[in-house]
Chain A
Amino acid sequence: MNGTPKRDNYDVVVIGAGPAGLAAAATVAEAGLSTLLLDENAGAGGQVWRAITSTPVTERDRLGADYWAGANLVEAVRSSGAEIIQRATVWSLDRNLEVGVSVGGASSFVKARRAILATGALERPFPIPGWTLPGVMTAGAAQTMLKSSGLVPDGRTVIAGQGPLLWLLAAQILRLGGRIDRILDTTERRNYFAALPHAFAFATSPYFAKGLALMREVRAKVPVVTGVSELAAAGDGQLATVTYKAGSRRETIPAELLLLHQGVVPNVNLAMAAAIEHRWDDVQLCWSPVLDHDGNTSVDGIAIAGDGAGIGGAESAIVRGRIAARAAVEALAPASAAKLAPMATYRASLAKAERGRAFLDTLFRPARQFRIPSGDTIVCRCEEVTAKDILDAVAIGATGPNQLKAYRRSGMGPCQGRLCGLTVTELMAQARGKTPQEIGYYRLRAPVKPITLAELAAVPKTESDVQAVVRG
């Protein structure tokens, strides 16, 4: 499970061991192709099935049936013949399909005939005043601690935001005896009307009954404030209070922990660094890769599956993983594709898994004021750049996110824009009266995760590598 890759080339390299990556790796390996699955975490499962092989939360109803559904897929990959390396950080991928990977502080390159990116999603930035204070975390962070370490909030806890994950997390915290003092729901009232045309599809999807049951379970135990239109965290070096406005009512409540969530967005860093074309998605309000119906990107040989290809949820991710995998098998070993289910079967499953998604996207479209901050609110957490700093830079001529780096260093810290990029694009678009597509995004480059110069220098070099940089 650990250690460096056994070979220097593979038929297929899959990056990320969440639902899409596990399904993709299992499918290509079962078809007989040499398969390498690289994943950054200590165990397989991605975020949705995090710690599925090691969680201390063993009473199955605590985390719910959807969580445990991942166990079969993890088992399928383990018995598929795929080589799996955990705690492997992929920091480079280029159009030659060379994958730079760091394991245990040492880097190496492997060559793939096809690469399937399954790097998933991350939580959308939630830039409110005070969101960098100790004690403010994402809902996903709390869920990660709950799944992998059985940790639950025990001080005054407020959960704020919107979306399915928020209710699932709240239910899981309560089932494990954790504390939640209040839930502040930021769903815009007008979204309920906008989502209405999609309601029938949603009502006939599995999300509907599950969602209602979760909300009922949580509402029975925690006061919920709806229509929250303003939100701020405050404290001196540590979260002390949360202030919110709902309707005409404004209230400040004491809090030790504030968990924020307003949906998830594709984790684009590796794909963008590989020069894969992305477009602004006006519905999901994020960058999504441009893909054909098999998940192939603008770069030959690289496909993207799962939430990194546009948010679709775990069920959809599994199917998209299988589709990308089957396409890879068809390309590399057409005779072996007969061992797999027909593409039409996968496409029918995908349509089923995507049922209800339009409703969720519309209902939980995050409000403008929670995406585009103002004044002294920090946008770039790493370099501590505020909304005002960025608007000031625009006023003296900064045209887009890349030029902004020269003015304010935003996006140049260790997170490489993951926590500020969407905010910067939308903030600059608003300030300059352009669309996000016109404003664009940070130009991302390898290494997409920081590695030391020493590690880079220690990578084995060929004679031609040396010749390429030696003068004379």
Chain B
Amino acid sequence: MFKRSDQDSRRPVHIVVDGAAVAAREGDTVSAALLASGRDVRRATAVSGAPRLPYCMMGVCFDCLVTIDGVGNRQGCLVPVAEGMQIEIQKGKREIGR
């Protein structure tokens, strides 16, 4: 869906998405890194379980909700990636306690 520009010479940052290693770049948000990964990163909504991907990428639509380092319902489009960050694609509601 998206490819990286050949102008992009930013440092790689390694994150883990549902147990798999993904190479992001320094300054990517979690959502941008997920969309650039080529993986199926569709979440499932809390109401009907419908598949969704980020819509606005600027913090207003909440379709980028994702579990980051064990904390659910984070807005992936507002959180920059960090080395070793653990991402889980959130299927449905946030679970109590995480």
Contacts and interface: CB of A to CB of B under 8 A. Distances in A.
Interface of A: 40-42, 47, 51, 54, 56-59, 62, 87, 89, 122-123, 132, 134-138, 140-142, 144-145, 148-155, 176-178, 237-238, 256-257, 267, 381-384, 413-415, 418-419, 450
B5 A141 contact: no
Interface string B1-29: 11111111110000000000000010111
B60 A54 contact: no
Contact of A414 (B55, B58, B65): B65
A134 B42 contact: yes
Contacts of B9: 56
B4 to A, nearest CB: 6
Contacts of B47: 382-384, 413
A152 B4 CA distance: 6
A394 B58 CA distance: 32
A122 B60 contact: yes
Contact of B27 (A54, A136, A383): A54
A255 B60 CA distance: 25
B76 to A, nearest CB: 12
B28 A149 contact: yes
Contacts of A40: 59, 78
Contacts of A384: 45, 47-48, 50
A56 B58 contact: no
Contacts of A89: 78
Interface of B: 1-10, 25, 27-29, 32-33, 35-36, 42, 45, 47-48, 50-63, 65, 73, 77-78, 80
B47 to A, nearest CB: 5
Instruction: Tell me whether chain A's interface is mostly helix, strand or loop, or mixed.
Output: loop
* Most chain A beta-carbon contacts within 10 A, residue among B48, B55, B78: B55
A87 B82 CA distance: 15
Contacts of B59: 40-41
Given A137-B55, A151-B4, A87 B78 contact: yes
A176 B32 contact: no
A178 B36 CA distance: 13
A62 B28 contact: no
A220 B19 CA distance: 45
B56 A122 contact: yes
A152 B78 contact: no
A286 to B, nearest CB: 14
A380 B45 CA distance: 13
B61 A177 contact: no
Given A57-B7, A141-B57, 18 more contacts: A42-B27, A56-B9, A59-B7, A122-B60, A134-B51, A138-B56, A138-B57, A144-B58, A148-B32, A149-B29, A149-B36, A150-B4, A150-B5, A150-B8, A152-B5, A238-B51, A256-B1, A267-B60
A415 B8 contact: no
Contact of A177 (B6, B28, B62): B6
B7 A151 contact: no
A10 B53 CA distance: 40
Contact of B57 (A137, A152, A178, A419): A137
A149 B6 contact: no
B61 A418 contact: yes
A177 B50 CA distance: 33
Contacts of B45: 384
A381 B50 CA distance: 11
Nearest to A123: B56
Contacts of B50: 132, 237, 384
B1 A56 contact: no
B1 A382 contact: no
Contacts of A413: 47, 62
A364 to B, nearest CB: 19
A151 B62 contact: no
Contacts of B57: 137-138, 140-142, 144-145
Contacts of B60: 122, 267, 415, 418-419
B55 A381 contact: yes
A56 B10 contact: yes
Contacts of A87: 78
Contact of B5 (A56, A134, A155, A267): A56
Contacts of A267: 60
A414 B8 contact: no
Contact of A153 (B1, B6, B28, B33): B1
List 9 A-B pairs, minimum CB-CB distance, nearest first: A150-B5, A141-B57, A134-B53, A154-B3, A150-B8, A414-B62, A56-B8, A144-B57, A151-B2
A415 B25 contact: no
A48 B34 CA distance: 23
A91 to B, nearest CB: 12
A382 B62 CA distance: 8
* Most chain B beta-carbon contacts within 10 A, residue among A41, A51, A257: A41
B7 A141 contact: no
